[in-house]
Amino acid sequence: MMGTLQLSGIILTAGLDKSDPLHPRLLEGLIQALSPLVDECIVVAGNLPDFLDLDALLVGDPDEAPTLLSALHAGLSHAGSSHALVLSWQQPLVQPRLLQTLLGRVESRWDLIAPAPAGRPVPFPAVYAGNYLKRIEHMLSKGEHTFEPLFKRVRMKVVSEKVLRQNDPRLISFLNITQPDEEVKIRARMDSET
């Protein structure tokens, strides 16, 4: 349960395919980007044996049909701090300066610090407070698995696109590898870095 550390980092891996040679590299890159910013790094994974070689605390998602919301719940349940910076492996080009922008807005009065790259808040990357757990548990118990209703039930600080672009001018932090047109851009960038 949240408590003694200053900040936890959580990476959600729902949908990651370890047979794709790029996917493990993406995850390792996220751990490297997150580690200097947090006191602990947690990876929430469906198949824990696939991830034993990572330098992070591995946590399983106990939900029979895991979703990003249930994975977030599993990660927050194991976090040792009052707040957690949460990333999805699906956005592997997240920029450290953008993460620092989000972290710079952490205050006890906010349950969530969410970026709004296109004028609407998105769930990742974002900073979640530990008191979010009860709300997530309530939603999961009712069979709700999307973030939109959760956004309406919390005290949220929204970070505007204008502010986000100051530290990520092209907003590459929000490219999603599960979107075919964005996957091409991500793969090209990753290939150029090898």
Asked if the model's pLDDT at residue 2 lies above 50, the reply is: no
* Predicted local confidence at residue 18, as pLDDT: 66
Number of domains in the chain: 1
Q: Residue 5: which pLDDT band, with cuts at 50, 70 and 90? A: low
Q: Where is pLDDT greater, at 97 or 47?
A: 97
Query: Integer distance in angstroms from the first to the last C-alpha of the chain?
Result: 39
pLDDT digits (tens, 9 = 90+) for 125-166: 999 998 888 888 988 899 888 888 888 878 999 999 999 999
Q: How far apart are alpha carbons 161 and 167 in whole angstroms?
A: 10
Whether residue 48 lies inside any domain: the answer is yes
Count how many Cα atoms sit within 13 Å of the Cα of residue 48 in the half-sphere of its side chain. 8
Strand segments, DSSP code E, in the chain are 8-12, 40-45, 57-60, 83-88, 112-116, 126-129, 156-160
* Predicted local confidence at residue 1, as pLDDT: 42
Q: Are 159 and 119 in contact (CB under 8 A)?
A: no
Q: How far apart are alpha carbons 177 and 53 in whole angstroms?
A: 23
Q: Which of 47, 103, 42 is nearest to 77 (CA)?
A: 42
pLDDT digits (tens, 9 = 90+) for 174-188: 998 888 888 888 878
Q: For tokens 């959580």, what's the residue?
A: 10
Q: What are phi and psi of 12, to 5 degrees?
A: -95, 130
Q: Residue 88: which pLDDT band, with cuts at 50, 70 and 90? A: very high
Q: Are 67 and 50 in contact (CB under 8 A)?
A: no
Which residues span the domain enclosing 182? 8-192
CATH code at 22?
Answer: 3.90.550.10
* Predicted local confidence at residue 62, as pLDDT: 75
Q: How far apart are alpha carbons 181 and 186 in whole angstroms?
A: 9
**Which alpha helices (DSSP H) does 79-179 contain, by range?**
96-103, 132-141, 148-151, 161-167
